[in-house]
Amino acid sequence: MTLETTPVIGGFYPDPTVCRDDDGVYWLATSSFEYAPGVPIFRSTDAIHWHQVGNALTTDAQFRAGGTPASGGIYAPTLRWHQGRFWLITSDIRSGQEGHFLITTDDPAAGWSAPVHFDGLPGIDPDLAWDQDGRCYLTYCSSASGLARIIQAQVDPVTGEVLETPRTMWSGTGLKHPEAPHLYRHDGWWYLLIAEGGTERGHAVSIARSEQITGPFTGAPGNPIFSHRSTDHPVQNTGHADLLQLTDGSWAVVYLGVRPAGRTPSFHVNGRETFLAGVDWVEGWPVFDPQRFRADLAPRSFTDDFTGPQLHPRWVSPGPRPDELVEPHPEGGIQLSAVTAENGSPGLLATRITDPRWSFEADVDVTAGPVGLVLRLDDRHWCEIRLIDRKAAAVLRIGPLTAPVGRTAEVATDVLTLRIRSVDPTQGGPDDLELSVSSVDAEETVLARFDGRYLSTEVAGGFTGRVAGVRALRTTARALAIRYHAY
């Protein structure tokens, strides 16, 4: 398959950042917003096939979820390998708090340090780069009044001290929302890569260069150097790129994109995903080649019966962390606790939806307590199958409206499968969503089916994508196994 139209990391994994260590292994991180644990970390030996090894933000000191509104929290990170160590800098955006912090590690799969905070530099999308003399520079998109552009300051990455007054850098070609700066040293030049045009259909990648890391920078004559705006390409919103030199000396780039579907304006539902393209350097400037890479990527289907010693890193929650919601059940599977976050969001053991067509199902113990199977875009756009007192019913939330939909099913067995699936659309949306239940000795009962556009970013807004999960509705509940099938 061509990777021009297939993400190397499918689903809500936006704002990719990538680096290579001295052993030739590639590492990648993405944004996570309100979900905890935060900042998923991936490993690859070929930059095509990626395996999640963990999450960077796993402690309250690094990021405490629950007080974070939808699409708040952890914004775009930058991941770098420098002097035998991994450095990850990101931003925590929430009400009353905004700023960058840095964590480090020798092994991204083994945990990260306590955070080092940089005070007085409000903004998003921080980048770290070191010059030839070892000085460290933090470059970011400022949100300070009158400074909504690309800004840079020399910093001490060990203490968080800001060592100089921030300076204004090159801020693009004049398109809206210049952001996502990354600095690179190549062939005697410093290159400043940014995104501009907004992270919607106008998204684009632009670049400038300078002889000095501090500028002044001159833009490429062909800016923007990459965009799918105003085309019929199946991948849109392309931008927020990060360059990578491969072990063979060639170059590649990771970037985000979406796969919209349905009638105009078309709808994307799985969030902004991570794509890969080749790069050629032509007359001193990078030229993207989205058609370079082809590969047969493994199916993203999985079954989790929770027999391992710890949860797989795919599991996240928009409220309390999964380890606060879940514990092994003595008779198998997991016991879920009905924990509510500071912002009122109920605890949800969730995973990202990664494919255009899929089914997500949980085998639950009917006798162990009321339980819900949820498909969530944000806290105002979701659907749920609720199993209470041997009755299964569907509920839909769209903005301020929460209402039961479809029919109710009576449950006679003690083990029931709750299922939500994406099927072909009937109303011009990206898909239809079908909610159903079934048991071993009974046929599947469809509770409800509705247009999937109501759980899309174009309807809800924000920066995330669909996640699916299970939760306890009252005190506790039990799930025996969870299955995700892509088709």
At 362 the pLDDT is: 98
Q: What is the largest CA-CA distance in the chain?
A: 74
Find the catalytic residue in 4, 15, 363, 379: 15
Question: Is 179 an annotated catalytic residue?
Answer: yes
Phi first, then psi: give them for residue 366, nearest 5 degrees: -65, -30
Architecture of domain 17-289: 5 Propeller (2.115)
The runs of H, that is alpha helices, within 212-282 are none
Rounded to an integer, what distance in angstroms lies between the CA atom of residue 164 and that of residue 28?
30
Q: Following DSSP, what letter does each residue of 319-342 receive, concatenated?
A: SS-HHHHEEE-TTSSEEEE--B-T
How does 96-129 read in b/e, with b if 16+ C-beta sit within 10 Å? eebbbbbbbbeebeeebbebbebeebbbbbbbbb
Structure tokens at 29: 């991180």
At 100 the pLDDT is: 96
Pair 222, 285: CB distance under 8 Å:
yes
CA atoms within 13 A on the CB side of 35: 30
- Domain topology for 302-486: Jelly Rolls (2.60.120)
> Could you tell me which residues come within 8 angstroms of residue 114 by beta carbon, excluding any fewer than 6 positions away?
61, 62, 103
Residues counted in the chain:
487
> Could you tell me which residues come within 8 angstroms of residue 252 by beta carbon, excluding any fewer than 6 positions away?
47, 243, 244, 246, 276, 277, 278, 279, 292, 293
**Sign of the dihedral through C-alpha 92, 78, 267, 196:** positive
Pair 312, 303: CB distance under 8 Å:
no
Whether omega for the bond prior to residue 126 falls within 30 degrees of 0, making it cis, is no
Phi first, then psi: give them for residue 404, nearest 5 degrees: -70, 145
Whether omega for the bond prior to residue 224 falls within 30 degrees of 0, making it cis, is yes
Distances (CA, A) of 453 to 431, 450, 457: 7, 9, 8
Task: Measure the CA dihedral 69/70/73/74, to 10°.
Answer: 180
Question: Is 127 an annotated catalytic residue?
Answer: no
Which helix H or strand E contains 266, and what residues bound it?
A: none
At 96 the pLDDT is: 53
- Residue 278, number of CB atoms within 10 A of its CB: 17
> Could you tell me which residues come within 8 angstroms of residue 485 by beta carbon, excluding any fewer than 6 positions away?
301, 358, 359, 360
Structure tokens at 450: 């509705």
Rounded to an integer, what distance in angstroms lies between the CA atom of residue 321 and that of residue 36?
5
At 94 the pLDDT is: 76
> Could you tell me which residues come within 8 angstroms of residue 350 by beta carbon, excluding any fewer than 6 positions away?
35, 315, 316, 317, 318, 374, 376, 467, 468, 469
Phi first, then psi: give them for residue 368, nearest 5 degrees: -95, 0
- Residue 38, number of CB atoms within 10 A of its CB: 26
Structure tokens at 289: 């080649």
Per-residue tens of pLDDT for the chain, all 487 residues? 889 999 999 999 999 999 999 999 999 999 999 999 999 999 999 999 999 999 999 999 999 877 788 999 999 999 999 999 999 999 999 755 568 999 999 999 999 999 999 999 999 999 999 999 999 999 999 988 766 699 999 999 999 999 999 999 999 999 999 999 999 999 999 999 999 999 999 999 999 999 999 999 999 999 999 999 999 999 999 999 999 999 999 999 999 999 999 999 999 999 999 999 999 999 999 999 999 999 999 889 999 999 988 999 999 999 889 999 999 999 999 999 999 887 777 899 999 999 999 999 999 999 999 999 999 999 999 999 999 999 999 999 999 999 999 999 999 999 999 999 999 999 999 999 999 999 987 789 999 999 999 999 999 999 999 999 999 999 999 999 999 999 9
Distances (CA, A) of 91 to 74, 127, 273, 467: 6, 10, 20, 22
Structure tokens at 184: 């690179």
Find the catalytic residue in 4, 92, 127, 179: 179
Domain boundaries for CATH 2.60.120.200 within the chain: 302-486
Pair 419, 359: CB distance under 8 Å:
yes
Domain boundaries for CATH 2.115.10.20 within the chain: 17-289
